[in-house]
Chain A
Amino acid sequence: MKVRFENVSLNYDKQKEVLHNLNFEIPNGKLTCLLGPSGCGKSTTLNLISGLLLPSAGKIYFDKQDVTKKDALDRRVGMVFQNYALYPHMTVLENICFPLKMAKVKKKDQLKRAQELAKLVHISNELDKHPGELSGGQQQRVAIARSLAKSPSILLLDEPLSNLDARLRVEMRDEIRKIQVATGVTTVFVTHDQDEAMHIADKIMILDTGEVQQYTTPNKIYDRPSNLFVAKFIGNPEVNVIPLADLKSEFASFIPNDILKNAVSLIVRPESIVSADSTQKLLPVNFQGKLLSASRFGKETAVRMNFQGETILATAILQEKLEQKSESIHFRLKTTGVFLSDQAGKIIWSADGERIVNDD
């Protein structure tokens, strides 16, 4: 089921606008992530898709059908909540069967379907237990099975992994991906964890202050953020943002003047800062920074230096360079992960040479 938003806005109590004029399309059979900091409107967007909330303006389509006025039941969505929202007084089996029972499916068919789903999510041995007796991961599996029971038009997951511990989160993340691929159900996954989104999604929509910041594939978002917010939000550790004013002359040789004229900040991913003698593809500029600290955490290195009055972080400067204990570090920039942004934060130039186009 394809989902399309057409000029959708939402305001609570006719005052505060929570979502501003959203236009996007969620592709059929794919897993799409809604990603953003808390309060950005991602859960609200999900609730608009589900029909639990109705938009103040605009239209929502499922394929060709206008569902703007339809409630969650009519839209046939399946939903999984952060706290799982299992019915505590029912057994696992009863929980999975519940949507079928409400749809007046025959008892025999209910059981057959429930067993199928239990097998899919690996909880066949827990069917007689109550949710309270299950671990968080198992409860999540039950919630997914229940949401799939009715063969939903679209599966909506609202921060489904946030209540799990780190290891289980990775395990369930892959599990959800597997289930999604196995069933081919169109899935929308809300999260604030960029790492989660990068690993699981076919497409990521980044939201902030009720507006879509960028909507494309995970790698494209990483390689070509459309603005400073996206560049900062995606990637760990965070990008370095350096005022460009005093550096313009260094870049003048290879950046068109009309771009350079509007550029305000240089944005550099920490792994794009390398030693001056690196043999990788590099930009034709040479910089020098003052070493502040250098540390190694297993496979990672973190070099902090003072450059143009800013403290910047580099994670790809080789260990042996640091052992020379020199005060100043010569470094260069790779041709990936280096961007220029204008006054408004829009990224207007990317070092990998291609034109910046915000498409999908």
Chain B
Amino acid sequence: MDKQKISRLLEYLILIFGGILMLIPFLWMLDTALKSGSEAMTIPPVIIPKKLQWMNFVLAWHAAPFLRYFINSVIVTVITTCGQLLTTILAAYAFAKLEFYGKKIVFMICLTTMMVPGEMLIIPNFITLSKFHMINTYYALIIPWLASFFAVFTLRQTFMSIPDEIYYSAKIDGAGDWYFLWHMLVPLAKPTIIALAALEIINSWNSFMWPLIVTNSDKMRTLPVGLSNFTTDAGTQFQLLMAASTIIIIPMLLVYIFLQKYIIAGVSRSGLKG
């Protein structure tokens, strides 16, 4: 074996090891979801359950108003993602292609917000929303996430990579700013925009801390918060928790599978060819 082959082999071994490491939690979740209550608690853990408990999925689904949670999650995720994309596209356009008074300062201020840890924002956001009497409403679940400067920044970079000459050309050809944004920039930045959408869908769907804090009734809870139903004073029913978790992540797996090529493309290149 020559040197190249050995390094190839090593490369693959490292990647396979990394892949397995990433998969273990998922497999463990699936494994636990199929165990009986006592098997799930045993130490040392049982790896292969004696009898696969498919009923766990049905039990888990009926253990709490999961349909309600599911609908809430969908509503919040869809509106948050669409709203955030809209604000992102408009703001990124302004920062990338327009000239206005104070642009640099506004940009710097926005940039500093990226350095504030999310946890720091929980209390001020909570106080603000409670003053508006919005706690335990969709507003509370949606409004704080309608703008993300991370997304604005990313999209701005993509917009900036699209040459100004295209903008001038479009102007000379008779397209206004609004037309240029939606018919030129947005289609050209499609990979980035889809990647940002996918990241926000996943973020919003998985969000736990914030919905837990701003909701206090089953009517408004989302799926991740609903999972806490399986933890009671008497302990946690791990097999049902894991069964419910499995159900919850399926939509995200689908999103990822369908958008994977865009997510990777959006992260790795600017999205403009030719």
Contact = CB atoms under 8 A, between A and B. Distances in A.
B274 interface: yes
B150 to A, nearest CB: 26
Interface centre among A50, A79, A132, A133 (most CB of B within 10 A): A79
Q: Chain B contact residues: over half helix, strand or loop, or mixed?
A: helix
A146 B274 CA distance: 17
B174 A79 contact: no
B168 interface: yes
A73 B172 contact: yes
Contact of B274 (A50, A77, A99, A131): A131
Contacts of B171: 52, 71-73
A158 B27 CA distance: 60
Interface in A93-128: 98-99, 102-103
Contacts of B273: 88, 132
Contact of B272 (A71, A78, A84, A88): A88
Given A52-B168, A79-B169, A88 B274 contact: yes
**Which of A71, A84, A87, A131 has the most CB atoms of chain B within a 10 A radius of its CB?**
A87
A88 B188 contact: yes
A133 B169 CA distance: 20
B188 A79 contact: no
A85 B166 contact: yes
A85 B168 contact: yes
Contacts, number: 59
B193 to A, nearest CB: 13
Contacts of A103: 174
A52 B173 CA distance: 12
A88 B274 CA distance: 6
Contacts of B45: none
A102 B176 CA distance: 10
A17 to B, nearest CB: 20
Contact of A73 (B165, B166, B174, B274): B174
Contacts of B251: none
Contact of B169 (A71, A81, A130): A81
B173 A83 contact: no
A87 B166 contact: yes
Nearest to B164: A85
B175 interface: yes
Contacts of A132: 273-274
Contacts of A131: 274
A98 B274 CA distance: 18
Contact of A89 (B165, B174, B187): B187
B175 A102 contact: yes
Contacts of B117: none
Interface string B75-106: 00000000000000000000000000000000
A78 B172 contact: yes
Interface size class of A (residues with CB under 8 A): 20 to 34
A99 B173 contact: yes
Interface string A63-77: 000000001110001
A315 to B, nearest CB: 39
B163 interface: yes
Interface in A156-172: none
Task: Indicate the member of B170, B172, B187, B188 with the most A CB atoms within 10 Å.
Answer: B172
A284 to B, nearest CB: 56
Interface string B119-162: 00000000000000000000000000000000000000000000
Nearest to A139: B274
B274 A130 contact: yes
B188 A146 contact: no
Interface string B169-204: 111111100010000100110000000000000000
Nearest to A50: B172
23 contacts: A52-B168, A52-B172, A72-B171, A72-B172, A73-B172, A81-B165, A84-B165, A85-B166, A85-B168, A85-B169, A86-B274, A87-B166, A87-B184, A88-B272, A88-B273, A89-B184, A99-B172, A99-B173, A99-B174, A132-B273, A133-B274, A146-B169, A150-B173
A83 B274 contact: no
A325 B211 CA distance: 94
A86 B274 CA distance: 9
Interface centre among B165, B169, B274 (most CB of A within 10 A): B169
A73 B187 CA distance: 23
Contacts of B165: 81-85
Contacts of A50: 172
Contacts of A52: 168, 171-172
Contact of A79 (B168, B272, B274): B168
A88 B190 CA distance: 12
A102 B179 CA distance: 10
